[in-house]
Amino acid sequence: MKIAQALQKEYQKRIGDDWVNSPFGWIKQTLPSRTIGKIGEELVERFCNKYGIKVNRPGSHDADLVIGQARVEVKFSTLWGAGFYKFQQIRDQGYDYIVALGVSPDSAHCWVIPKMEAMRNAEVQHAGRRGSDTQWITIDPSSPPEWIKAFGGDLRQVNVVELLRRLSQAQ
């Protein structure tokens, strides 16, 4: 028991004191990145359901959700130590929008980005052996780039419900 408690304290130090009492701290624990990505999808889906926005699962792997008629790829990030979000593994696949959800110890941010706008502003994440098809978007929520401001922001200041409702009416 004492060994487990000591180990827990070590892991809590790794996630940082800011996250220990955060409502999102459980996400920063030792979950694998694939699980964290799935949590992001579920948060967006449940958020939409709460506000009566129709959400379905797509019939392919090119998108995570279908909101209205729009195919959506959900990207989820916790705030990195340097104070920014990195929305990773962005590829040119069969979706229409990216919903980028970021959480920090005391706030959440969300952007509903048209795919072409996201691709235009993404950076190469890694090239690998076969090329540069994987990109990422970096956003400092305290000083977001100009191009992203029209697509969302801090959930305390931006009406994400309205952005998602518009998305559900798109197409």
Q: Are 70 and 64 in contact (CB under 8 A)?
A: no
Count of residues for the chain? 171
- Report the amino acid identity of residue 37: G
Task: Specify the range with the lowest mean pLDDT, choosing from 21-30, 121-130, 159-168.
Answer: 121-130
Q: Which tens digits make up the pLDDT trace of 40-90?
A: 999 999 999 998 999 999 888 889 999 988 999 999 999 998 999 999 999
Cα dihedral: 83, 30, 98, 86 (round 10)? 30
**65 within 8 A of 97, measured Cβ to Cβ:** no
Start-end of CATH 3.40.1350.10 domains in the chain: 32-169
Q: How far apart are alpha carbons 103 and 113 in whole angstroms? A: 17
Structure tokens at 149: 């401001």
Dihedral sign, Cα of residue 108, residue 167, residue 165, residue 71: negative
Helices (H), the chain: 2-15, 17-20, 25-28, 33-50, 115-121, 160-169
The set of residues, in sequence order, having a beta carbon less than 8 Å from that of 11 and lying 6+ positions away, is 29, 30
Q: How does residue 118 score in pLDDT terms, banded at 50, 70 and 90?
A: very high
* 32-169 classified as CATH 3.40.1350.10: yes
Task: Quote helix, strand, coil % in the chain, to nearest 5.
Answer: 35, 25, 35
HSE-up of residue 113 (Cα within 13 Å, Cβ side):
26
Q: Report which DSSP code applies to 73.
A: E
